[in-house]
Amino acid sequence: MIYGIGTDIADCARVAGIYEKHGYHFVKNILTKKELELLDAQTGKAEFIAGRWAAKEAFSKALKTGMCADCAFVEIEILPGPRNVPQVTLHAATAETVRRLGITGIHVSISHERAYAIGMAVLECADEK
């Protein structure tokens, strides 16, 4: 059964401006170590960051917490899986929150169109919550 659905959109130009101004200090608060390694290989860095930002925000909305102590950007890792489908790995308090809530499935999608990146997340649970 569906526990929650979340969506978010990010303006790539806005993200580019923040990244140009703050660089690593900006992305270290959003991306995990493995995501930072992926970022280094990207030609469209702002688009990559915006996509991860939107997907993680969408996840927090689907979790019904928003970003908080129980759900933090750097505890949500989104890496390409088979056929480049985003795969989510959770860490620390976020992983514990998901376990405590009985979330059994996490589905995330990231898409880019010109100046925007959109993220969508669907969380499943076994029972009605």
Catalytic amino acids? 61, 112
Sequence-separated contacts (24+) of 17-24 with Cβ below 8 Å? 19/45, 19/46, 19/49
**Could you give the C-alpha distances from 120 to 26, 45, 99, in angstroms and in order?**
22, 20, 20
DSSP class of residue 83 equals: G
| Residue 34 and residue 77 in contact, taking contact as beta carbons nearer than 8 Å | yes
52: closest CA among 38, 66, 68? 38
φ/ψ of residue 127, rounded to 5: -120, 160
